Amino acid sequence: MRLLRSTLLLFATSILCMDLTSASHSASFDCETKELKPDEKVICENRTLNDADVKMVTTFDLLSGLMAMGSRGTLQDEQTAWLKKRRECGSDVVCIRAAYDERLKQLDETYKKINRPL
């Protein structure tokens, strides 16, 4: 189990590094669009929040691929609710950072609950 977790984290880190070097804006949305919401604008302008966004979406995508189809729907519903909550932060950097911290913790807990072969 520890080996699987280490392998998954290594894989996620590799993807994160590739994403960060491949574009000037690595957020999970287009930072160049003119219709950015206040939270998205702050994320694009703040490297720490941008990195948290990349980590969150990479973790979410990896978990989605590991989960059974029914569980994926639940994960997606939780993500949609989380995005709404993050959007409510507006341009408040502290609120957005707390939202990412909370979501990453939730995703980590979801990972720990995935059934794995022995």
Q: Please give the Cα distance from 117 to 21 (Å, whole number).
A: 35
8 band by pLDDT with thresholds 50, 70 and 90: low
23 band by pLDDT with thresholds 50, 70 and 90: very low
With beta carbons less than 8 A apart as the criterion, state whether 1 and 39 touch.
Answer: no
With beta carbons less than 8 A apart as the criterion, state whether 98 and 82 touch.
Answer: no
Place of tokens 């994403």: 19
Q: How many C-beta atoms lie closer than 10 Å to residue 27's C-beta? A: 19
What lies within 8 Å, CB to CB, of 97 at 6+ separation is 48, 49, 52
Average confidence score pLDDT of the chain: 83
pTM assigned to the model: 0.75
pLDDT at 5 over 70: no
Confidence (pLDDT) at 13: 54
